[in-house]
Structure 1
Protein backbone atom coordinates (compact mmCIF):
# COMPACT_ATOMS: atom_id res chain seq x y z
CA UNK A 1 0.00 0.00 0.00
CA UNK A 2 1.46 3.37 -0.98
CA UNK A 3 1.58 6.34 1.34
CA UNK A 4 -1.04 8.17 -0.78
CA UNK A 5 -3.35 5.14 -0.67
CA UNK A 6 -3.02 4.97 3.12
CA UNK A 7 -3.66 8.72 3.40
CA UNK A 8 -6.75 8.45 1.18
CA UNK A 9 -8.01 5.47 3.16
CA UNK A 10 -7.57 7.31 6.46
CA UNK A 11 -9.28 10.40 5.04
CA UNK A 12 -12.23 8.24 3.88
CA UNK A 13 -12.45 6.56 7.29
CA UNK A 14 -12.54 9.92 9.08
CA UNK A 15 -15.18 11.24 6.65
CA UNK A 16 -17.34 8.15 7.07
CA UNK A 17 -17.12 8.39 10.85
CA UNK A 18 -17.82 12.12 10.88
CA UNK A 19 -20.90 11.79 8.67
CA UNK A 20 -22.13 8.73 10.57
CA UNK A 21 -21.69 10.39 13.95
CA UNK A 22 -23.65 13.46 12.85
CA UNK A 23 -26.37 11.32 11.27
CA UNK A 24 -26.65 8.99 14.26
CA UNK A 25 -26.71 11.99 16.60
CA UNK A 26 -29.62 13.64 14.84
CA UNK A 27 -31.54 10.66 13.46
CA UNK A 28 -30.72 7.70 15.68
CA UNK A 29 -28.63 4.59 15.25
CA UNK A 30 -30.92 2.72 12.87
CA UNK A 31 -29.75 4.61 9.79
CA UNK A 32 -28.68 2.04 7.16
CA UNK A 33 -25.07 1.78 5.98
CA UNK A 34 -26.24 2.44 2.43
CA UNK A 35 -27.56 5.84 3.54
CA UNK A 36 -24.30 6.67 5.32
CA UNK A 37 -22.38 5.75 2.15
CA UNK A 38 -24.70 7.96 0.06
CA UNK A 39 -24.17 10.92 2.38
CA UNK A 40 -20.40 10.46 2.37
CA UNK A 41 -20.36 10.09 -1.41
CA UNK A 42 -18.67 6.67 -1.36
CA UNK A 43 -19.78 3.21 -2.34
CA UNK A 44 -21.25 1.00 0.35
CA UNK A 45 -18.39 -1.48 -0.22
CA UNK A 46 -15.88 1.23 0.74
CA UNK A 47 -17.82 1.95 3.92
CA UNK A 48 -17.88 -1.78 4.72
CA UNK A 49 -14.14 -2.03 4.10
CA UNK A 50 -13.58 0.46 6.93
CA UNK A 51 -16.47 -0.70 9.13
CA UNK A 52 -17.42 -4.32 8.30
CA UNK A 53 -20.77 -4.05 10.07
CA UNK A 54 -23.14 -1.30 11.15
CA UNK A 55 -22.35 -2.32 14.73
CA UNK A 56 -18.67 -1.47 14.10
CA UNK A 57 -19.63 1.96 12.77
CA UNK A 58 -22.03 2.59 15.67
CA UNK A 59 -19.36 1.59 18.18
CA UNK A 60 -16.81 3.91 16.53
CA UNK A 61 -19.29 6.82 16.59
CA UNK A 62 -20.17 6.15 20.24
CA UNK A 63 -16.46 5.90 21.11
CA UNK A 64 -15.89 9.42 19.78
CA UNK A 65 -18.96 10.69 21.63
CA UNK A 66 -17.89 9.07 24.91
CA UNK A 67 -14.39 10.53 24.50
CA UNK A 68 -15.91 14.03 24.16
CA UNK A 69 -18.04 13.46 27.28
CA UNK A 70 -14.98 12.20 29.16
CA UNK A 71 -13.06 15.33 28.15
CA UNK A 72 -15.94 17.53 29.36
CA UNK A 73 -15.91 15.80 32.74
CA UNK A 74 -12.12 16.08 33.10
CA UNK A 75 -12.38 19.81 32.42
CA UNK A 76 -15.09 20.11 35.08
CA UNK A 77 -13.01 18.20 37.63
CA UNK A 78 -10.07 20.52 36.89
CA UNK A 79 -12.19 23.67 37.29
CA UNK A 80 -11.41 25.24 40.68
CA UNK A 81 -14.88 26.82 40.93
CA UNK A 82 -17.27 24.16 42.32
CA UNK A 83 -20.46 25.82 41.03
CA UNK A 84 -19.09 26.51 37.57
CA UNK A 85 -17.83 22.93 37.36
CA UNK A 86 -21.14 21.33 38.36
CA UNK A 87 -23.43 23.70 36.47
CA UNK A 88 -21.16 23.43 33.43
CA UNK A 89 -21.60 19.65 33.39
CA UNK A 90 -25.38 20.06 33.53
CA UNK A 91 -25.33 22.67 30.74
CA UNK A 92 -23.03 20.57 28.55
CA UNK A 93 -25.32 17.58 29.08
CA UNK A 94 -28.17 19.74 27.74
CA UNK A 95 -26.05 20.77 24.76
CA UNK A 96 -25.32 17.10 24.03
CA UNK A 97 -29.08 16.50 24.28
CA UNK A 98 -29.56 19.04 21.51
CA UNK A 99 -26.65 18.01 19.28
CA UNK A 100 -26.23 14.30 19.95
CA UNK A 101 -29.74 13.04 20.66
CA UNK A 102 -29.42 9.63 18.97
CA UNK A 103 -26.03 8.91 20.52
CA UNK A 104 -27.21 9.87 24.01
CA UNK A 105 -30.35 7.77 23.67
CA UNK A 106 -28.22 4.79 22.69
CA UNK A 107 -25.79 5.24 25.58
CA UNK A 108 -28.45 5.70 28.22
CA UNK A 109 -31.02 3.37 26.71
CA UNK A 110 -31.07 -0.31 25.95
CA UNK A 111 -29.13 -0.26 22.67
CA UNK A 112 -26.75 -3.27 22.53
CA UNK A 113 -23.79 -1.04 21.63
CA UNK A 114 -24.09 0.76 24.98
CA UNK A 115 -22.85 -2.29 26.88
CA UNK A 116 -19.29 -1.62 25.70
CA UNK A 117 -19.35 1.71 27.57
CA UNK A 118 -20.57 0.53 30.97
CA UNK A 119 -17.20 1.25 32.60
CA UNK A 120 -17.21 4.78 31.15
CA UNK A 121 -20.70 5.38 32.56
CA UNK A 122 -19.56 4.20 35.99
CA UNK A 123 -16.52 6.49 35.86
CA UNK A 124 -18.69 9.44 34.81
CA UNK A 125 -21.04 8.66 37.72
CA UNK A 126 -18.11 8.70 40.18
CA UNK A 127 -16.87 11.99 38.75
CA UNK A 128 -20.35 13.52 39.02
CA UNK A 129 -20.52 12.44 42.67
CA UNK A 130 -17.18 14.21 43.31
CA UNK A 131 -18.49 17.39 41.68
CA UNK A 132 -21.69 17.32 43.75
CA UNK A 133 -19.80 16.61 46.99
CA UNK A 134 -17.36 19.43 46.25
CA UNK A 135 -20.19 21.89 45.47
CA UNK A 136 -22.02 20.92 48.67
CA UNK A 137 -18.84 21.28 50.76
CA UNK A 138 -18.29 24.75 49.26
CA UNK A 139 -21.86 25.74 50.19
CA UNK A 140 -22.93 26.55 46.62
CA UNK A 141 -25.66 23.92 46.54
CA UNK A 142 -28.24 23.16 49.19
CA UNK A 143 -27.13 20.88 52.02
CA UNK A 144 -29.77 18.31 51.14
CA UNK A 145 -28.63 17.98 47.51
CA UNK A 146 -26.93 14.74 46.56
CA UNK A 147 -25.80 13.12 43.35
CA UNK A 148 -29.20 11.45 42.91
CA UNK A 149 -30.84 14.89 42.79
CA UNK A 150 -28.46 15.95 40.02
CA UNK A 151 -29.20 12.69 38.19
CA UNK A 152 -32.91 13.56 38.38
CA UNK A 153 -32.06 16.90 36.76
CA UNK A 154 -30.13 15.12 34.00
CA UNK A 155 -33.04 12.70 33.49
CA UNK A 156 -35.42 15.66 33.14
CA UNK A 157 -33.13 17.16 30.51
CA UNK A 158 -32.81 13.82 28.70
CA UNK A 159 -36.59 13.38 28.58
CA UNK A 160 -37.35 16.96 27.52
CA UNK A 161 -39.28 17.00 24.25
CA UNK A 162 -37.17 18.91 21.80
CA UNK A 163 -38.65 21.47 19.43
CA UNK A 164 -37.06 23.75 16.85
CA UNK A 165 -36.47 26.34 19.54
CA UNK A 166 -33.87 25.67 22.22
CA UNK A 167 -35.36 28.27 24.57
CA UNK A 168 -37.47 25.71 26.45
CA UNK A 169 -34.54 23.43 27.16
CA UNK A 170 -32.33 26.30 28.28
CA UNK A 171 -35.12 27.56 30.55
CA UNK A 172 -35.51 24.07 32.04
CA UNK A 173 -31.76 23.94 32.74
CA UNK A 174 -31.90 27.35 34.47
CA UNK A 175 -34.85 26.25 36.60
CA UNK A 176 -33.17 22.97 37.55
CA UNK A 177 -29.89 24.67 38.45
CA UNK A 178 -31.73 27.32 40.47
CA UNK A 179 -33.34 24.52 42.46
CA UNK A 180 -29.89 23.17 43.34
CA UNK A 181 -28.37 26.42 44.54
CA UNK A 182 -27.93 27.18 48.20
CA UNK A 183 -29.76 30.50 48.01
CA UNK A 184 -32.31 29.66 45.31
CA UNK A 185 -30.74 32.05 42.79
CA UNK A 186 -28.52 31.35 39.83
CA UNK A 187 -25.18 33.17 40.04
CA UNK A 188 -25.27 36.11 37.61
CA UNK A 189 -22.22 34.92 35.69
CA UNK A 190 -23.74 31.41 35.29
CA UNK A 191 -26.93 32.79 33.74
CA UNK A 192 -24.86 34.93 31.35
CA UNK A 193 -22.55 32.09 30.34
CA UNK A 194 -25.19 30.36 28.19
Structure 2
Protein backbone atom coordinates (compact mmCIF):
# COMPACT_ATOMS: atom_id res chain seq x y z
CA UNK A 1 0.00 0.00 0.00
CA UNK A 2 1.35 3.43 -0.92
CA UNK A 3 2.12 5.76 1.96
CA UNK A 4 -0.70 8.15 1.02
CA UNK A 5 -3.20 5.31 0.78
CA UNK A 6 -2.05 3.97 4.16
CA UNK A 7 -2.40 7.45 5.65
CA UNK A 8 -5.92 7.80 4.26
CA UNK A 9 -6.89 4.43 5.67
CA UNK A 10 -5.57 5.33 9.10
CA UNK A 11 -7.44 8.64 9.09
CA UNK A 12 -10.67 6.90 8.10
CA UNK A 13 -10.33 4.35 10.90
CA UNK A 14 -9.50 7.01 13.49
CA UNK A 15 -12.41 9.20 12.41
CA UNK A 16 -14.80 6.25 12.31
CA UNK A 17 -13.88 5.13 15.82
CA UNK A 18 -14.29 8.63 17.23
CA UNK A 19 -17.66 9.07 15.54
CA UNK A 20 -18.91 5.61 16.48
CA UNK A 21 -18.12 6.47 20.11
CA UNK A 22 -19.72 9.91 20.02
CA UNK A 23 -22.68 9.30 17.69
CA UNK A 24 -23.23 5.56 17.47
CA UNK A 25 -22.74 2.98 14.74
CA UNK A 26 -25.29 4.50 12.37
CA UNK A 27 -23.32 7.71 11.72
CA UNK A 28 -23.43 8.45 7.95
CA UNK A 29 -20.47 7.27 5.92
CA UNK A 30 -20.25 10.71 4.31
CA UNK A 31 -19.76 12.22 7.77
CA UNK A 32 -16.93 9.81 8.46
CA UNK A 33 -15.27 10.70 5.16
CA UNK A 34 -15.56 14.41 5.92
CA UNK A 35 -14.04 14.05 9.37
CA UNK A 36 -11.24 11.92 7.94
CA UNK A 37 -10.49 14.53 5.28
CA UNK A 38 -11.00 12.12 2.40
CA UNK A 39 -13.54 11.86 -0.39
CA UNK A 40 -16.52 9.56 -0.07
CA UNK A 41 -15.22 7.59 -3.07
CA UNK A 42 -11.93 7.02 -1.25
CA UNK A 43 -13.78 5.77 1.82
CA UNK A 44 -15.89 3.32 -0.17
CA UNK A 45 -12.89 2.13 -2.14
CA UNK A 46 -11.27 0.97 1.10
CA UNK A 47 -14.47 -0.03 2.93
CA UNK A 48 -17.31 -0.81 0.50
CA UNK A 49 -19.88 -1.28 3.29
CA UNK A 50 -20.47 0.09 6.77
CA UNK A 51 -20.21 -3.46 8.08
CA UNK A 52 -16.69 -3.80 6.66
CA UNK A 53 -15.67 -0.52 8.30
CA UNK A 54 -17.14 -1.46 11.69
CA UNK A 55 -15.43 -4.86 11.55
CA UNK A 56 -12.07 -3.24 10.83
CA UNK A 57 -12.46 -0.52 13.48
CA UNK A 58 -13.17 -3.13 16.14
CA UNK A 59 -10.83 -5.85 14.92
CA UNK A 60 -8.67 -5.66 18.06
CA UNK A 61 -11.74 -5.97 20.28
CA UNK A 62 -12.91 -9.03 18.36
CA UNK A 63 -9.50 -10.60 18.90
CA UNK A 64 -9.66 -9.81 22.62
CA UNK A 65 -13.17 -11.25 22.88
CA UNK A 66 -12.07 -14.44 21.15
CA UNK A 67 -9.13 -14.66 23.58
CA UNK A 68 -11.56 -14.49 26.53
CA UNK A 69 -13.43 -17.47 25.11
CA UNK A 70 -10.19 -19.35 24.41
CA UNK A 71 -9.05 -18.80 28.01
CA UNK A 72 -12.39 -20.10 29.26
CA UNK A 73 -12.08 -23.21 27.10
CA UNK A 74 -8.69 -23.90 28.68
CA UNK A 75 -10.19 -23.83 32.19
CA UNK A 76 -10.92 -27.28 33.63
CA UNK A 77 -13.71 -25.86 35.82
CA UNK A 78 -16.64 -25.45 33.41
CA UNK A 79 -18.78 -23.26 35.70
CA UNK A 80 -15.86 -20.96 36.44
CA UNK A 81 -15.21 -20.73 32.69
CA UNK A 82 -18.84 -19.85 32.00
CA UNK A 83 -18.85 -17.26 34.77
CA UNK A 84 -15.58 -15.77 33.51
CA UNK A 85 -16.97 -15.13 30.04
CA UNK A 86 -20.09 -13.42 31.37
CA UNK A 87 -18.23 -11.31 33.93
CA UNK A 88 -15.35 -10.30 31.66
CA UNK A 89 -17.38 -9.38 28.60
CA UNK A 90 -19.98 -7.48 30.64
CA UNK A 91 -17.20 -5.57 32.40
CA UNK A 92 -15.69 -4.65 29.05
CA UNK A 93 -19.13 -3.53 27.88
CA UNK A 94 -19.04 -0.74 30.47
CA UNK A 95 -15.83 0.54 28.87
CA UNK A 96 -16.49 -0.06 25.18
CA UNK A 97 -20.19 0.17 24.52
CA UNK A 98 -19.80 0.68 20.78
CA UNK A 99 -17.96 -2.60 20.28
CA UNK A 100 -20.64 -4.46 22.17
CA UNK A 101 -23.29 -2.79 20.01
CA UNK A 102 -21.36 -4.10 17.02
CA UNK A 103 -21.12 -7.56 18.56
CA UNK A 104 -24.84 -7.69 19.26
CA UNK A 105 -25.69 -6.37 15.79
CA UNK A 106 -23.64 -9.19 14.24
CA UNK A 107 -23.74 -7.56 10.78
CA UNK A 108 -24.17 -10.83 8.86
CA UNK A 109 -22.32 -10.98 5.59
CA UNK A 110 -19.36 -8.86 6.63
CA UNK A 111 -16.02 -10.60 6.16
CA UNK A 112 -14.65 -9.27 9.42
CA UNK A 113 -17.61 -10.45 11.42
CA UNK A 114 -17.73 -13.79 9.63
CA UNK A 115 -14.13 -14.40 10.71
CA UNK A 116 -14.63 -13.41 14.33
CA UNK A 117 -18.13 -14.36 15.37
CA UNK A 118 -18.20 -18.11 14.63
CA UNK A 119 -15.09 -18.65 16.74
CA UNK A 120 -16.64 -16.74 19.64
CA UNK A 121 -20.07 -18.34 19.30
CA UNK A 122 -18.77 -21.89 18.92
CA UNK A 123 -16.41 -21.48 21.86
CA UNK A 124 -19.17 -20.16 24.10
CA UNK A 125 -21.47 -22.99 23.03
CA UNK A 126 -18.81 -25.49 24.10
CA UNK A 127 -18.40 -23.77 27.49
CA UNK A 128 -22.18 -23.96 27.95
CA UNK A 129 -22.19 -27.66 27.03
CA UNK A 130 -19.45 -28.42 29.55
CA UNK A 131 -21.11 -26.46 32.35
CA UNK A 132 -24.36 -28.35 31.78
CA UNK A 133 -22.52 -31.66 31.71
CA UNK A 134 -21.03 -30.83 35.11
CA UNK A 135 -24.52 -30.09 36.42
CA UNK A 136 -23.60 -26.51 37.31
CA UNK A 137 -25.59 -24.70 34.62
CA UNK A 138 -29.36 -24.92 34.27
CA UNK A 139 -30.42 -27.26 31.50
CA UNK A 140 -32.85 -24.68 30.12
CA UNK A 141 -30.11 -22.10 29.53
CA UNK A 142 -29.76 -21.55 25.78
CA UNK A 143 -26.66 -20.25 24.04
CA UNK A 144 -28.76 -17.42 22.59
CA UNK A 145 -29.38 -16.22 26.16
CA UNK A 146 -25.90 -14.69 26.06
CA UNK A 147 -27.30 -11.93 23.86
CA UNK A 148 -30.03 -11.31 26.43
CA UNK A 149 -27.37 -10.96 29.12
CA UNK A 150 -25.48 -8.36 27.08
CA UNK A 151 -28.68 -6.49 26.21
CA UNK A 152 -29.70 -6.40 29.87
CA UNK A 153 -26.24 -5.26 30.88
CA UNK A 154 -26.31 -2.55 28.23
CA UNK A 155 -29.45 -1.21 29.81
CA UNK A 156 -27.75 -0.40 33.13
CA UNK A 157 -24.57 1.25 31.85
CA UNK A 158 -25.91 4.52 30.53
CA UNK A 159 -24.33 6.54 33.35
CA UNK A 160 -20.54 6.21 33.30
CA UNK A 161 -20.29 6.97 37.03
CA UNK A 162 -22.51 4.04 38.06
CA UNK A 163 -21.95 1.66 35.14
CA UNK A 164 -19.25 -0.60 36.66
CA UNK A 165 -21.07 -1.12 39.96
CA UNK A 166 -24.46 -1.57 38.30
CA UNK A 167 -23.03 -4.07 35.83
CA UNK A 168 -21.29 -6.14 38.51
CA UNK A 169 -24.46 -6.42 40.58
CA UNK A 170 -26.68 -7.26 37.62
CA UNK A 171 -24.25 -9.94 36.44
CA UNK A 172 -24.09 -11.43 39.95
CA UNK A 173 -27.90 -11.67 40.05
CA UNK A 174 -28.00 -13.26 36.59
CA UNK A 175 -25.31 -15.82 37.38
CA UNK A 176 -27.20 -16.87 40.50
CA UNK A 177 -30.28 -17.48 38.38
CA UNK A 178 -28.30 -19.55 35.86
CA UNK A 179 -26.52 -21.77 38.37
CA UNK A 180 -27.77 -25.27 39.19
CA UNK A 181 -26.57 -27.81 41.71
CA UNK A 182 -24.62 -25.27 43.75
CA UNK A 183 -21.92 -27.10 45.68
CA UNK A 184 -21.01 -24.14 47.90
CA UNK A 185 -22.74 -21.07 49.38
CA UNK A 186 -23.69 -18.38 46.92
CA UNK A 187 -21.06 -15.70 46.38
CA UNK A 188 -21.96 -12.40 48.08
CA UNK A 189 -23.49 -9.82 45.78
CA UNK A 190 -21.39 -6.75 44.94
CA UNK A 191 -22.49 -3.51 46.63
CA UNK A 192 -25.55 -1.82 45.13
CA UNK A 193 -24.95 0.91 42.57
CA UNK A 194 -26.26 4.41 43.43
CA UNK A 195 -29.04 4.32 40.84
CA UNK A 196 -32.26 6.33 40.95
CA UNK A 197 -34.40 3.49 42.28
CA UNK A 198 -31.83 2.87 45.00
CA UNK A 199 -32.83 6.19 46.54
CA UNK A 200 -36.42 5.06 47.14
CA UNK A 201 -37.40 4.13 50.72
CA UNK A 202 -36.56 0.53 51.51
CA UNK A 203 -39.25 -1.93 52.58
CA UNK A 204 -38.98 -3.70 55.90
CA UNK A 205 -37.44 -6.70 54.23
CA UNK A 206 -35.27 -4.72 51.79
TM-score scaled to structure 2, two decimals?
0.63
Return the structure number with greater relative CO, CA threshold 8 A, min gap 6: 1
Q: 1:96 to 1:159 in 2, by over 3 A?
A: same
Return closer, same or farther for 1:52/1:143 CA change in 2, 3 Å cut-off.
closer
Match status 1:125 vs 2:121: yes
Q: Which residue number in structure 2 is paired with residue 44 of structure 1?
A: 38
Asked if 1 retains the 8 angstrom alpha-carbon contact of 2:82 and 2:131, the reply is yes
2:167 is matched with 169
1:120 Cα deviation from its structure 2 partner: 4.5
In the alignment, is the contact (CA less than 8 A) between 1:178 and 1:185 conserved in 2?
A: yes
**Structure 1 residues 131 and 16, CA, compared in 2 at 3 Å: closer, same or farther?**
same
In structure 2, the residue matched to 1:84 is 80
Contact (CA 8 Å) 1:29, 1:106: kept in 2 or not? yes
Q: Distance in 2 between matches of 1:52 and 1:123?
A: 23
* Cα distance change of structure 1 residues 70 and 19 upon mapping to structure 2, 3 Å threshold: farther
The answer to which structure has the higher helix fraction is 1
Q: Judging changes above 3 Å, is the alpha-carbon distance between structure 1 residues 149 and 177 closer, same or farther for their aligned structure 2 residues?
A: farther
Structure 1: gaps (5+ residues): none
Cα deviation, residue 96, structure 1: 3.9
Change (3 A) 1:170 1:11: farther
What is the 5 A alignment of 1:108-147? 108-109=104-105, 113-116=107-110, 117=113, 120-139=116-135, 141-142=136-137, 144=139, 146-147=141-142
Q: Which residue of 1 aligns with 2:16?
A: 20
**Deviation for aligned residue 1:124:** 2.9
Residue 163 and residue 63 in structure 1: after superposition, are their counterparts in 2 closer, same or farther (change >3 A)? same
1:42-69 C-alpha deviation (Å, 9 max, x unpaired) = 5123963873556242342254443332
TM-score computed with the length of structure 1 as normaliser: 0.66
Which of 141-150 and 73-82 deviates more?
141-150
Listed as ranges, the gaps of 5+ residues in structure 2 are 191-206
Q: What is the RMSD of the two structures over their aligned residues, measured on CA atoms?
A: 3.7
Tell me if structure 2 keeps the 8 A contact 1:82–1:131.
Answer: yes
